[in-house]
Amino acid sequence: MSLVEEVDVIKRIPLFSKVDPARLKLLAFASERLTFDDGRFFFRSGDEGDSAYIILEGEAEILVGEEEAVVAKLGANELIGEIAMICNKPRTASVRAKGEVTALRIPKDVFMPMLTEFPGMALEITIELANRLERTTQQLVERTMEGTEQ
């Protein structure tokens, strides 16, 4: 995948949709392209939030708890790991490749200045957090209901 193709992928992510294309090209250039083999972890719960990842190709699983239960799957054009980086907190989940995955690793020192330069990014992150909270709450309600039916 060329730099131009990587920029096109980044533009499709709502968080980056309003960012100047020249800045996205710089973001893609400053990011590291990585390949994760099946079962390899991007990061584990408790790790430092030093980067975010954009999945270019393949699928990753989000795992939580000591038993590493799969709670979500993410695919191409999705951003992962940005919340721990922004909040300056340890990772709350682990992310593992399901099959071979190609991703861009965006370092914190590249990502964070973009938040102040493009306030629309902060709004998109807030929207994404609200959506994740809604999904998590719904899953908890469903599991609670399943537990009371038994």
Is residue 21 within 8 A of residue 11, CB to CB? The reply is yes
pLDDT of residue 136: 74
Strand pairing class (41-43; 94-107): antiparallel
- How much is the pLDDT for 118? 77
pLDDT of residue 150: 62
Instruction: Name the fold adopted by 3-149.
Output: Jelly Rolls (2.60.120)
pLDDT of res. 132: 76
- pLDDT of 46 reads 94
pLDDT score recorded for residue 95: 96
Q: How many Å apart are CA 83 and CA 51, to the nearest integer?
A: 10
The DSSP string of 80-133 is ESHHHHHHT---SSEEEEEEEEEEEEEEHHHHHHHHHH-HHHHHHHHHHHHHHH
pLDDT on residue 90: 93
Map out the domains of the chain as residue ranges. 3-149
Q: Note if the pTM is more than 0.85.
A: no
Contacts of 111 (CB under 8 A, 6+ apart): 27, 51, 52, 82, 85
Rounded-to-integer distance, Cα 8 and Cα 24, Å:
9
pLDDT mean by block of 10 residues, the chain; 150 residues = 84 81 86 96 95 95 90 90 87 95 94 82 78 79 75
